[in-house]
Structure 1
Amino acid sequence: MSEPYADTLLAGVAAAMAPVGLSEVPELMSRVDRKYLVTASTMAGLAAELGDRFCVLGIGGRRQFRYTSTYFDTPDLLTYRQHRQDRRRRFKVRTRTYLDGGGQWLELKLNGARGSTDKRRIPYDGVSGQTLTREALEFVRDTLLSELRLIAPETLHPVLATDYKRVTLVDRSGAARLTCDTGLNCRDTHRSTPARGDLVLLESKSTDGKALVDTVLRRMGVRPVSVSKYCLGVAALHDLPANRWHPVLHRYLAHRPSAPRRAAARAATRGA
């Protein structure tokens, strides 16, 4: 029997849970992240295991929200290469728009020597999500210097946009949350690649990396995966080396690179 579509399944999961307001969701700006790629039926089993120990974020009667993000990088894709090479100090710059309420933000995701993820952000309403203002660039420069001791690149421009739907489950203990993403589409100015409709991308976010969700998934035989929406999208659309993301790339995205483009992209990457 084929898998039920994940988007519909998640809507049902969210409808069955008690809602909580945005003020009750832990921000966890400094946290440990673990990501999982699961089928819709596995998601249903996870929801049953979590039971009433989790609530769902609800805003204005909605429990499933549309997001769009634009990622910025250098002309030679510095942040992509740093992530692919697993540099201990690295970053990503993006604007994120909450299409169903929540405004727009400029976000800087930082990975430091401790292996945790820190997120810094500032409101970005009233500005095109495809541009970085002078104030935005100053924020990036100041944050990278103070937090990672890195000099910001001189040039950052929009490279990739992602669209998806998200359901956020909240641990009643207040120490963790789980985001559940479906309907991912990665696009640039020339092309796009969608994700499979029967898979859910989960991200467990907790203060110490010991969330209940991680324990339950491990008991179910599900292991974390190395994945980044930005890096998957760039690898797929530009036919770049994906290294440790390769299994997820070919399982998750509807992507089949052409041999000539792949060879040209690898040659360009070697020369970078």
Structure 2
Amino acid sequence: MKTNLFDSIKLKEMDQVRLMNRTDHKYWFHFDHLQELLQSINGNYYILKIDGETEFPYTTTYYDTTKNRMFTDHHNGKLNRYKVRRRSYVYSKISFLEVKFKSNKGRTIKKRIPAEFGNISFTEHENEFLSNHIPFNCNDLQPSLMNEFSRLTLVNKNFKERCTIDLNLQFKIADRKVALENLVIVEIKSNGNTGISLLAMSLRNQRIKVSSFSKYCVGRTVTDPDLKRNNFKRKIRSIEKTIQIKNNLYNIN
């Protein structure tokens, strides 16, 4: 995968396009399509580069209630729903505790605070933050899923759009581990008033359509056979077909 044709951008410069209140559009496809996609847009986007690197490892710990309220809300298509996660940037050893709220108007609103790298339990300060932003009892939250992936980050040159490209995604909880090899997830993030996205046009030209993809919901579905998951079965089957899995790795009957 060649990324050297992109002009680079520094992490500090990306503050211009944080987009904590935004609209999101996701696409996912087989890795074989990625190089052509990158070549079609390299003149219009910057790529994040740190110390000469453009691909960075991430880890995430998600939390849910003991009765899996947040997963169930997503499964049932409930609007005004939440996710709680601890996102860690492995390369820089920085972590944030984040609350993502999906409104009934389709907007994603993210709140976050710095967190201790490598710690998955909540501090007093983190409990206070959560109490202010979620309708659940913090004492009822527990780790429900971990994931790992690597990410490329693009910013269009008018600083109105940020795009993430995620690779090498794998999920784990307890003794269960599932890797989605050859899957690429692209997310285009904007304030909703940016006009036509060149990246979206390039994806469309490759016949890659917008399709929802929640790492949390997919990960929990494939690692926990006891969860209600009827509404996600079709999504999992489509993922298997896209990345050309011959056997059913997900144990969904």
Same fold (TM over 0.5): yes
Aligned to 1:147: none
Contact 1:63/1:167, CA 8 A, preserved across alignment: yes
Q: Per-residue CA shift, 1:79-104, capped at 9, x if unaligned?
A: 10111111111110111111101611
State which of 245, 250, 253 in structure 2 corresponds to 1:256.
Answer: 250
State which of 27, 46, 50 in structure 1 corresponds to 2:41.
Answer: 50
Give the deviation of 1:39 after TM superposition. Answer: 2.0
Q: Which secondary structure does the structure 2 equivalent of 1:52 belong to?
A: coil
TM-score where L is the length of structure 2: 0.88
Structure 1 residues 85-100: aligned runs within 5 Å: 85-100=76-91
CA distance in 1, matches of 2:177, 2:171: 5
Q: Which secondary structure does the structure 1 equivalent of 2:104 belong to?
A: coil
Q: Which has more helix, going by share of residues? A: 1
State which of 171, 175, 183 in structure 2 corresponds to 1:190.
Answer: 175
What 5-or-longer segments of structure 1 have no aligned partner? 1-8, 145-149, 260-272
Give the deviation of 1:214 after TM superposition. Answer: 2.0
Structure 1 residues 71-86: aligned runs within 5 Å: 71-86=62-77
TM-score where L is the length of structure 1: 0.82
Q: Which secondary structure does the structure 1 equivalent of 2:61 belong to?
A: strand
Q: Which secondary structure does the structure 2 equivalent of 1:105 belong to?
A: strand
Matched, 1:201 2:185: yes
Contact 1:65/1:99, CA 8 A, preserved across alignment: yes
Give the aligned length.
241
Matched, 1:176 2:170: no
CA distance in 2, matches of 1:29, 1:172: 19
Cα 1:96–1:151, aligned 2, differ >3 Å: closer, same or farther?
closer
CA distance in 2, matches of 1:31, 1:152: 27
Q: Which secondary structure does the structure 1 equivalent of 2:207 belong to?
A: coil
Matched, 1:139 2:129: yes
Identity among equivalent positions (%) equals 27
Give the deviation of 1:30 after TM superposition. Answer: 0.8
Q: Match for 1:133: what amino acid?
A: T
Give the deviation of 1:46 after TM superposition. Answer: 1.8
Aligned to 1:109: 100
Contact 1:226/1:244, CA 8 A, preserved across alignment: no
Give the deviation of 1:251 after TM superposition. Answer: 4.2
Give the deviation of 1:236 after TM superposition. Answer: 0.7
Matched, 1:157 2:121: no
